[in-house]
Amino acid sequence: MFTALLKKDLLIELRSKEIVISMASFGVSVILLYSFSFNESPKTFSIFASGLLWMVFLFISVLGLHRSFSLEKEFDAIGLVLSAPVNRSLIFLSKWVSGFLFLLMAQIIIVPLFWLFLALDIPSQIGLWLLVFIMADLGIAAVGSLVAGITLRARMSEVLLPILLFPLVSPLLIAAVKSTDALMVGLPFEEWKVWGAIIFTFVIAFSVTGVLIFDYVSEE
């Protein structure tokens, strides 16, 4: 059942491509604005590059999450899914994974352009770097799907989503920025393992909470 739900999200996206395209193009235009507004040498810029990068990811994840959940509102699709004999936790899991995949796909487009436009150095520990991205994306998608589920049927859901998401996600953002920073300077893992631990804790805490609690969020 989980694969069916996930396949549904991915198929819709594959046919319309609206979520990933809008996330990526919004992200790229923000980067363009960055390079206009901070006309600095790459060396200066690299000091706050990772912070700016994760800000972009937060913004585009709000875009993507909102779109992905408001698709469910059209023709009351979520009502039909809920009336099917499906375990609601699976709905959360499918939204979590699809949200994660959309974010990752958008990042695949955005990150190389970010490095190219701003002429940054390529970090040496690519493997660890990818791991940080994947884990932090999982965290954003987990808490994002939960909050998007809560605000789905509220009026002004597009405003409520970022208002609730940003404070909740702040520890994850700090940890992701700090570890990306450390990797860009080339610090060994020992030096920033506490940030890795915070990202890991965040992902575990919110995915487990999401699975346990989504039943109540989606109840009619």
List residues near another protein by CB under 8 A: 143, 146, 150-151, 153-156, 159-160, 163-164, 166-168, 170-171, 174-175, 178, 194-195, 198, 201-202, 205-206, 209, 213, 216-217, 219
Instruction: Give the residue with the Cβ less far from another protein, 13 or 181.
Output: 181
The phi and psi torsions of 70 (rounded to 5 degrees) equal -75, -20
Instruction: Give the residue with the Cβ less far from another protein, 30 or 164.
Output: 164
Instruction: Give the residue with the Cβ less far from another protein, 64 or 149.
Output: 149
Instruction: Give the residue with the Cβ less far from another protein, 16 or 170.
Output: 170
- Please report how close the Cβ of residue 37 comes to another protein at its closest, in angstroms: 24
Query: What sign has the CA pseudo-torsion 126, 47, 38, 107?
Result: positive
Enter the DSSP assignment of 123.
P
Enter the DSSP assignment of 155.
T
Burial bucket for residue 23 (CB in 10 Å: 0-12, 13-18, 19+): buried
- Please report how close the Cβ of residue 60 comes to another protein at its closest, in angstroms: 20
Query: What sign has the CA pseudo-torsion 69, 52, 201, 166?
Result: negative
Instruction: Give the residue with the Cβ less far from another protein, 116 or 163.
Output: 163
Which helix (DSSP H) or strand (DSSP E) does residue 78 occupy? helix 77-83
- Please report how close the Cβ of residue 152 comes to another protein at its closest, in angstroms: 9
Cα separation, 131 vs 126, whole angstroms: 9
